[in-house]
Amino acid sequence: MSEKLKESLSAVIDGEADEFELRRVLDEIGKEMPITIGVAVAAGAIGDVSVLEFRESRGWEVRYPFFTDQFVAARLGPNEHLDTHIDGITGATLSVNAVTRIARVAL
């Protein structure tokens, strides 16, 4: 879990939240198992994405900042799709799709 998301979740628990409007922890199926993902949203844009629990045997690269940082500042565009292009990861297509779906749901 990223430090930014940890601090954000702690602020919610302590009742001191003011940086992010919305925090969600959601599960989405990768290939066969759920991936638990935390998303922080502020002013209609993603502030942070963090993979909290990854249970699949493949596709674990979605946990790393080189992937999750792509979602920062993304918003919903036309047809309920993200307005930012998200680069895929070879061999992790289903995990990439799962994280992208959760980002859309969180917005």
Could you read off the pLDDT of 11-37 as tens digits, one per residue? 555 555 555 567 889 999 999 999 999
Tell me phi and psi for residue 101, to 5 degrees: -65, -45
- 9: which 2 tokens? 């979740």
Distance CA 76, CA 59 (A): 25
- 60: which 2 tokens? 């674990």
Ranges of residues in the chain whose predicted pLDDT is under 50: none
Q: What is the pLDDT of residue 57?
A: 92
Instruction: Enter the pTM of the model.
Output: 0.80
